[in-house]
Amino acid sequence: MTVDPETKSLDLQILAFIKKYSTGSSDTKSFEALAFKTFNYQFRRNQNYKKFCLLEGKRPETLKSWKDIPAMPAAGFKELVLSTFPVKSAVKVFKTSGTSGREASAIKASADAPLRGAHFFDSLKLYETAILPPFKKYLLAGEKDFLFCFLISSPKGSPHSSLSYMMGVVNRVFAKGKGKFYIKKDRMMFGSLTHDLKSAAKKVFILSTAFSLQSFLDYLKNRKISLKLPKDSRLMETGGFKGKGKEISKSKLYDECEKRLGVNKAYCVSEYGMTELSSQFYDTTLRDKTLGVKRKPFMEGPAWVRTLVIDPRTGREAKKGYVGILRHFDLANRGAVLAIQTEDLGRQAGDGFELLGRATGSELRGCSLSYEKFLAATF
């Protein structure tokens, strides 16, 4: 695929920004300047997003702050094609989660239905570059030489999963391609994982979804197995249980990890990401321990991402300490939409936020009235 000069220039600027601020925070002025440039690019090239922005009365020349950039609700990826380039030329497609009955009905009636429910990429350079610095900062904490165990499907096994692709990048860069994936054809290979953990001669790094991790812990519990992994072994846990019928708090989940795996709770780190975004957030647990900081951990993102907590009653930024809906601004999301209104509840904490679960339908409506009008007009 031939890359046009404007796209190439913008990508180089974002990559330079990521490199410059890979280990620290950026000043607001620098972030805002690049956010405005990215929004201008997306406004002109992403037609569905442009229509949405116009309905909100926002154009590039009317913005006074990066906070004014219109945020597309995450549900938009299920119902609309949101891309700055012809999607037929995409080099990678990540599928979003399932749609509701109303969404499915609208999609079925559309001519481009097969294109919906997806995040398209014309290049994976930004996506892959954005993965590495925060992973290293919040999870590795200067340590090397782990036995990487992925309780997640491999990129080959789940080609449209953004999480599987991310783990493939982690495996290639940090595990030198020697990590092992323990879910094959939707089958969890707990016996093989248990055997490998028992015989581990060096510190272990387990990377898993919450559901798979809890299932593995239940497997060990039912067989009365307790392991003692090497010192400084650690865990990355991501995602919720998403209606699978079994859920426990993270605190209890990590207690069980300590009991069954011998992994200290301070080495259990929660990751938060979205198929609709290109960057990830991590809780500060392990980093705080490494730096000797004592505080309640919270989610923190890299310098090329900003997060606002939005009051659903007003649609504006919530007061500090108040619970609202999380809105992310991700510079690495150049090929789709920079600003995304999530369906997640949170509260500002430190330089990040405390993740508090999913919002209800009534809460979401307060943040997406113009979006509902837009959909009514579009369909």
Distances (CA, A) of 212 to 189, 236, 253, 266: 11, 12, 11, 20
DSSP 167-222: HHHHHHHHSTT--EEEEETTEE-HHHHHHHHHT--S-EEEEEEHHHHHHHHHHHHH
Q: pTM for this structure? A: 0.91
Quote the CA–CA distance of 71 and 329 in Å, as a whole number: 8
Tens-digit pLDDT profile for residues 263-279: 999 999 999 999 999 99
Tens-digit pLDDT profile for residues 148-199: 999 999 999 999 999 999 999 999 999 999 999 999 988 999 999 999 999 9
Q: Specify the pLDDT at position 107.
A: 32
Characterize the bridge pairing of strands 339-349 and 323-330: antiparallel
Tens-digit pLDDT profile for residues 46-62: 999 999 999 999 999 99
The domain locations on the chain are 125-276
The backbone region for 47, taken as left when phi is positive above 0, alpha when psi lies in -120 to 50, beta otherwise, is alpha
**Cβ(173)–Cβ(141) under 8 Å?**
no
Terminal Cα-to-Cα distance of the chain (whole angstroms): 31
Q: Which fold has domain 125-276?
A: Rossmann fold (3.40.50)
Count CB neighbours of 209 within 10 A. Answer: 21
Residues 6+ apart with CB under 8 A from 105: none
Q: Specify the pLDDT at position 25.
A: 85
Characterize the bridge pairing of strands 180-184 and 147-153: parallel
